[in-house]
Chains A and B, each alone.
Chain A
């Protein structure tokens, strides 16, 4: 009896990105307009991600009694990317989809029923047009590692903030993600010779048992409000990714009898992050903020769990600044800037994962509708536009990192290429307080 032939593989996966939609474009139009500089800006649902302590405002602005805030925003973003080989030809990548999604957020008093001021909850759910979308390719395929998939996945944050004292608020929460297990079982029902390929062609009936499990990553924050016009924030977010595993087995295969493989992928890796931030009211109509985020990308996983031709990941520091000017009673102008160092390098090796340093410049408008459109309706309209420039980068294959000349010549990125591009994002949102 012939030995059973079974192909086993551990494939990994996931398109790591800068912490999903939150770090790529910002959680909501206001955060986008401020360049993501938000860890020391308390008072709306976005604090559920940026700094849970910000759900409970400090200082003399602390809320009393019950309240309920609801926000909804639409996001659209389009990339224009290029990968050009040294001979001037364009290299194909799996896809550069546009991003379209809806963000719903809420912040409300959780302590009111318990006669406790300053205990608030914040929720956010980002629902893209494609609830999730990912492409698995070997790490040596030319592919954008952190730009295409990360804003194409449902994300949710749920946090609670508590004001311990007028000058001190703390908060904690969970970022919700998923794990996926897929077991595929099938059997061959028909066998024929394929004249085109010369192979034995089989027809199979495939069944599946697919399970999606919840996975949560904790986050926590502190907000210090020494004066009404000064706020200091500190946030910790733990790493997470979507673990995607399973196997496939097909029985009654001619010659081999059984055929199958095991897979394991990692999607949407998000590193452990620590953010320190400060915001200050420089004038009655002007406030500014600055954030600095350390991201532990050195523990990142490629979609293939770094098992095939691993790239090199490095920790990064990301500065961000934002400013808001109340130009009129009913109109505010916002602006922000963020520099995101790429955590990824191929360094001439077999992998061809693409990522660039990014300059993100953003502008926004904020209008209090109550002041001119809907008297008695405490609502705000927010608009933000962000332009992200990907600094051009080059990759030249180094023969010393390949096992053979043939492997070097067969590499899709041989001999060298340059890549870059830009992203343009726009977000429009409405938030109301009841």
Chain B
């Protein structure tokens, strides 16, 4: 046996799919997505900086990656005794990543620089926080894909068998104190009698991540990456004065993009042209807070997320890929006021990649495609009236207006396909 397959099995399993090209959920590059996001132990490229920045040190020449993806998510939500109330939406986005080794002396050539940017097709950013805390929402599919993200990273090849890397993802925080006053007859017309004074300050904050990748044997790679939670905040105050009415309240919104994560991954060449990868990720969902920055009645649960992937060199210029992942839901039983949606999810991915340089030497381009589905079981919830708030305490009896009462069933299905184009821009083409 050329490779100790048992070692791979013993080290185990695989991680939860990490972030994205630059941090946006479901914005991974086609190579990463096609392999089930199980790439932490495998050599990296410009499109996998977020998965393991140490893999950036595997880049041997300047490359620019352009990517695009489209997906469709359908979330079914059905209250007991009522008709289905499905929600569906299309998702899409564009990714740009660049990576290069530095030129110059040997110590400098071991250093790699990487940048990545992801832009959703619909919204650059969307933050939706409902005043009703019982609004049904998915912590996985609602909000997380709706943000632009950017990252920068450095990686260093310490020795040929050991690479380290670190980077930061942007996670801005907004301060927006607002004062609105109605001043009668200030100007001509009631619309112009309203005076608004507001300041908006979106401060740059970052979420760090770091990784290491070892290649003790040519056929075996081991990677470990840690990512801090990615959270945005919005604060300030909203003061509105109209006649004898004064409404003056603080604002404190909390957008939980991604939990902190630690992922261990291995990559092994088990036979000629075939590479198996396995990641195991620990995601700290227990730090999740609501959009109004409040602790949950029942905290989310941390999750262990295994993933496996395979890449097979079918032709010298063609690689086919596949992957599978299992994501336990962090959402606990929703018997109280909150109505978070989520069930255990399976992910299946297929992909292919072609290095056109192997076909035509004068075309230094790589093309990768992928498709994947995410599907899961059904979430069944039966509300406990004793744990629901009384909507109108001044009336006798318990008045329940919870949007999930008396219970509900939910499920989700997500399909996605995408394409990445890698341009090897730094090499003089053969003539």
Contact = CB atoms under 8 A, between A and B. Distances in A.
* A in complex with B: yes
Interface residues on A, range: 35 or more
Given A113-B365, A261-B194, A434-B426, A206 B131 contact: yes
Nearest to B422: A113
Contacts of A134: 199-200
Contact of A200 (B190, B193, B245): B245
Nearest to A203: B249
A104 B100 CA distance: 14
B172 interface: yes
A422 interface: no
B126 interface: yes
A282 interface: no
B127 interface: yes
A188 interface: yes
B428 interface: yes
Interface string A24-64: 00000000000000000000000000000000000000001
Interface in B111-153: 113, 115, 117, 119, 123-132, 148, 150, 152
A9 B194 CA distance: 6
A363 B159 CA distance: 43
A136 B199 contact: yes
Interface of A is mostly: strand
B126 A376 contact: no
Contacts of A8: 190-191, 194
B131 A186 contact: yes
Interface in A107-147: 108-110, 112-115, 123, 125, 127-138, 141
A307 interface: yes
B108 interface: yes
B245 A199 contact: yes
B428 A213 contact: no
A378 B362 CA distance: 25
B204 interface: yes
A375 interface: yes
B202 interface: yes
Contacts of A203: 247, 249
A284 interface: no
Interface stretch (B16-24, B234-242, B262-270, B409-417): B234-242
B12 interface: no
Contacts of B362: 115
Given A187-B131, A206-B251, A68 B100 contact: yes
A122 to B, nearest CB: 12
B245 A255 contact: yes
B87 to A, nearest CB: 15
A200 B100 CA distance: 62
Contacts of A209: 126-129
A129 B172 CA distance: 10
B150 to A, nearest CB: 8
Given A8-B190, A9-B193, A434 B201 contact: no
A374 B124 contact: no
Q: Which residue among B193, B198, B199, B425 has the maximum number of chain A CB atoms within 10 Å of its CB?
A: B425
Contact of B115 (A65, A94, A104): A104
A208 interface: yes
Interface in B357-372: 362-365
B190 A208 contact: no
A10 B62 CA distance: 50
Contact of A127 (B102, B204, B244, B246): B204
A208 B194 contact: no
B292 interface: yes
Q: Which residue among A68, A106, A205, A211 has the maximum number of chain B CB atoms within 10 Å of its CB?
A: A68
A113 B251 contact: no
Contacts of A67: 425-426
Given A131-B204, A136-B198, A250-B240, A66 B245 contact: no
A204 B247 contact: yes
B246 A212 contact: no
A78 interface: no
Q: Which residue among A65, A207, A209 has the maximum number of chain B CB atoms within 10 Å of its CB?
A: A207
A253 B245 contact: yes
Contacts of B365: 113
Nearest to A188: B247
A98 interface: no
A115 B201 CA distance: 46
Contacts of A127: 204
Given A213-B123, A262-B191, 7 more contacts: A64-B428, A112-B423, A113-B364, A127-B204, A129-B204, A132-B201, A186-B131
**Cβ-closest 10 pairs across A and B:** A377-B104, A9-B194, A207-B131, A68-B62, A212-B125, A65-B428, A199-B246, A212-B124, A131-B202, A11-B196
11 contacts: A7-B193, A108-B425, A123-B96, A204-B238, A205-B249, A209-B128, A210-B127, A255-B244, A256-B243, A375-B105, A377-B103
Interface of A: 5, 7-11, 64-68, 70, 94, 104, 106, 108-110, 112-115, 123, 125, 127-138, 141, 178, 184-188, 194, 197-214, 248, 250, 253-256, 259, 261-263, 307-309, 374-379, 432-434
